[in-house]
Amino acid sequence: MTEPDIKKGLAGVVVDTTAISKVNPETNSLLYRGYPVQELAATQPFEAVAYLLWHGELPDAAQLAAFRATEREHRALADNVKTAIDLVPVEAHPMDEVRTAVSLIGASDPNAGGSVLDAGGSPEQNLERSIRLFAALPAIVAYGQRRRRGEQLIEPRDDLDYSANFLWMTFGEEPDPVVVDAFNRSMILYAEHSFNASTFTARVITSTLSDLYSAVVGAIGALKGPLHGGANEAVLHIFDKIGEASNVVPWLDDALAEKRKIMGFGHRVYKSGDSRVPTMKAALDTLVEHYDRPEVAELYDALESEFVARKGIYPNLDYPSGPAYNLIGFDTLTFTPLFVAARVTGWTAHVIEQAGANALIRPLSLYDGVDERHIEG
């Protein structure tokens, strides 16, 4: 028998179609339902992009107003979710808090339990669940940071749109429009990226006809890893270790000598640069100027130019987003939960698409263990 061609990590393997986004490494581009992500980030509120991912079209004024009203209805942190978060040890990683909160929201959904034969839910039910998670995650992430700082929960404000309200609930200050715009752009850039590890995890779970919440909880688990969503947090740990631009060369000498991965660089699909980085870097530059922190840009540029020169491996979205979130005032441990709040839109769009495909995902494996044998005696 000829040896099968094993594709470790499914690298380069096309396993299905999707109409949600197109990642094109040849043109270094990313389209959400046909729109270049750069255009969406420059012109749309995140709410409109969430609507686009779910419905396939940007909302008109009336549709956006109705969507915003629904999102506002589900912003407040539910008492049982706050209780569940408070049960998570404050020393635990915030991704464990987010995972626990989503799991409880799912367990509390009267239509998601019961017989496994109807756990999957209808597209309409799953769209409603998606909007509720989209609306609820900011309060979950904001409260997580505040409780780790020993601060009290801040209630949402109905006079603020999604991004401004997210910042209000986290910091309790009137958010500056410059910061709101940079944050809004980051959420749009993080929202969707075809069959990345966490999205594919959500699709595998959905392919068994399990429920949307189980798929999102699984995706949160996948995103936590530093090779995936955890990289934005890891970038700040690296910045903290290096300290300032003049330390980059010796630090990189040691890191590469120890064959360490430099978080925030490289990508499984993009090999000549991540299409989203220029837009996020521009947002970072705006924040560097707004907060008058030129040393952040100096360190960013020094590490990028040195690593690219040595390895020819380019930054991914996590590289500019980490320093940006740090400048805004988010704790480093809050960075990947922010990624969850954005990516829940892409994950749930894929859950709805996969549920419609009704095709169990179950690849093969090539056995390389001991030969067949039998119990003696």
Count residues binding ligand SDX (CB under 6 A): 20
318 classed as catalytic: yes
- Pair 265, 274: CB distance under 8 Å: no
Quick check: 231 binds ligand SDX (CB under 6 A)?
Answer: yes
Closest separation between CB of residue 143 and ligand SDX, Å? 25
For 255, residues 6+ apart whose C-beta sits below 8 A from its C-beta are 262
Q: Which lies closer to ligand SDX via its Cβ, residue 114 or residue 312?
A: 312
Closest separation between CB of residue 262 and ligand SDX, Å? 4
143, containing H or E segment: helix 123-148
Closest separation between CB of residue 323 and ligand SDX, Å? 14
Quick check: 281 binds ligand SDX (CB under 6 A)?
Answer: no
What Å distances lie between residue 260 and 76, 249, 265, 321, CA to CA?
42, 15, 12, 21
Quick check: 55 binds ligand SDX (CB under 6 A)?
Answer: no
Q: Which lies closer to ligand SDX via its Cβ, residue 100 or residue 196?
A: 196
Residue from the set 265, 330, 335, 347 that interacts with ligand SDX by CB under 6 A: 265
Helices (H) and strands (E) in the chain, counts: 16, 3
Residue from the set 144, 264, 320, 337 that interacts with ligand SDX by CB under 6 A: 264
Q: Please give the Cα distance from 182 to 236 (Å, whole number).
A: 18
What Å distances lie between residue 173 and 51, 182, 265, CA to CA?
28, 16, 33
x-or-dash string of contact with ligand SDX, 198-227, rule CB under 6 A: -----------------------------x
Of the residues 228, 274, 331, 350, only one is catalytic, namely 228
181 classed as catalytic: no
Q: Which lies closer to ligand SDX via its Cβ, residue 140 or residue 303?
A: 303
Residue from the set 50, 238, 262, 344 that interacts with ligand SDX by CB under 6 A: 262
Q: Which lies closer to ligand SDX via its Cβ, residue 51 or residue 265?
A: 265
- Which burial class, exposed, middle or buried, applies to 211 when counting CB atoms under 10 A from its CB (0-12, 13-18, 19+)? buried
x-or-dash string of contact with ligand SDX, 146-185, rule CB under 6 A: ----------------------------------------
Distance of CA 259 to the CA centre of its chain: 27
267 classed as catalytic: yes
101 - beta bridge partners?
none
Closest separation between CB of residue 130 and ligand SDX, Å? 18
For 371, residues 6+ apart whose C-beta sits below 8 A from its C-beta are none
Binders of ligand SDX among residues 303 to 322 (CB under 6 A) are: 313, 316-318
Query: Which tokens in the block code for residue 284?
Result: 């970072």
Q: Please give the Cα distance from 265 to 319 (Å, whole number).
A: 7
Three-state SS sequence of 23-63: EECCCCEEEECCEEHHHHHHHCCHHHHHHHHHHCCCCCHHH
Please give the residue ranges that form the binding site for ligand SDX (CB under 6 A): 9, 193, 196, 227-229, 231, 261-269, 313, 316-318
What are the residue numbers of the active site?
228, 267, 318
